[in-house]
Amino acid sequence: MLDGISSIEVGIQDERTSGIVDDALIEKGNSWPERQVFLENLSGALSDELDRRAKLMKNFYPFSLNKGSVHYNPSKTGVYEFCLAVARNPRGVAEGLPKASAIFEFVARDVLMIHFGYGTHGFRTGAPIYTFENRGKSAKSTFETLSRLCGEFRWNPNDGFPDEPSHKDLKDAGLDVVVWKPWPDGRQGLFFALGQCACGKNDINVAKGRELSLTRLENWLRPVSYATPMRCFLAAHHIPNSISLHELSGEAGIVFDRARISLIAELSADFIAKSPEQFNFHQMAKLYANQPVA
């Protein structure tokens, strides 16, 4: 695919590697014709899914299907390609760069800022913490830095909770990104969007969507915010159908999957290019896609 064109049959390769396809082929002693029908049905399903994604994203989908081959047309920002790579390899690491999953959280921050409009600010709260973020080395210092920036999210642990919690006590409470919009009059009671990010293939479910908990945050932050914040769920994967989208929306809040994240990024390519971290998403997509999956 990275070379510009690929047979749709390559899409079955991961299932072959894990044994899923081969197990199905030999189930109950399937004959050669039965195996061919199974593979044709699987290829047809892949083709239908590619067509669904192309219709969702229209001219911004970086792939096209023609006579059983998938053609790659690079996007402006590389955000789609990076999401594709991190969905395949969420634990990817490279010298001099944050983890692939952490980079996705920076993407999520920028996409939420774009979506909620002019004057919006954003802050990554997820783990691990990197020196260039200037937010200390702990959950406490992270939220104290956030509080200085936005005026809310006040660090004030509940009775019986340690003032300096260990990583085991408090990692990030399912909170990876905070975005807010100040009032022109400077008073508190701001609009906040809280972002939870998901990159792993087993993370796109309602159980994952429940991990971001205001109740848990209220054990450490009092108040979290004066107005109830909006919960958002940002996934490096495509949400496969309307039922999954609606169920996840009910549990996790506003859902941004790969299609929505990439569309927002492509429609605001200048904003993405000016992101403080200056990531080259095309390069990182190739880097993480070519790594062995951890």
Please tell me the predicted confidence (pLDDT) of residue 250: 93
| Residue range of the domain that includes 268 | 79-290
Give me the number of domains the chain comprises: 2
User: Which of these ranges, 105-109, 166-170, 183-187, has the smallest mean pLDDT?
Assistant: 166-170
Please tell me the predicted confidence (pLDDT) of residue 29: 54
**Contacts (Cβ under 8 Å, ≥6 apart) of 288:** 82, 85, 86, 88, 89, 92, 94, 100
How many CA within 13 A on the CB side of residue 123? Answer: 18
**Contacts (Cβ under 8 Å, ≥6 apart) of 150:** 121, 123, 178, 180, 182, 190, 192
> Which of 47, 72, 97 is the last residue in one of the domains?
72
One domain, residues 120 and 48: no
**pLDDT tens string 219-236:** 999 999 999 999 999 999
Q: Tell me the C-alpha distance between 237 and 84, whole Å.
A: 7
One domain, residues 131 and 99: yes
**pLDDT tens string 6-52:** 655 555 454 443 343 444 444 555 555 555 554 455 555 677 788 88
Please tell me the predicted confidence (pLDDT) of residue 140: 94
Q: Residues 288-292: what's their mean pLDDT?
A: 85
For 231, phi and psi rounded to 5 degrees? -90, 135
One domain, residues 12 and 112: no
One domain, residues 210 and 88: yes
End-to-end CA, the chain = 21
> Which of 72, 106, 125 is the last residue in one of the domains?
72
Burial of 195 (0-12, 13-18, 19+ CB in 10 A): buried
**pLDDT tens string 182-210:** 999 999 999 999 999 999 888 888 888 88
% of the chain exceeding 70 in pLDDT? 83
Please tell me the predicted confidence (pLDDT) of residue 22: 46
One domain, residues 121 and 165: yes
Please tell me the predicted confidence (pLDDT) of residue 46: 75
Please state the pTM of the whole predicted model. 0.86
Please tell me the predicted confidence (pLDDT) of residue 202: 81
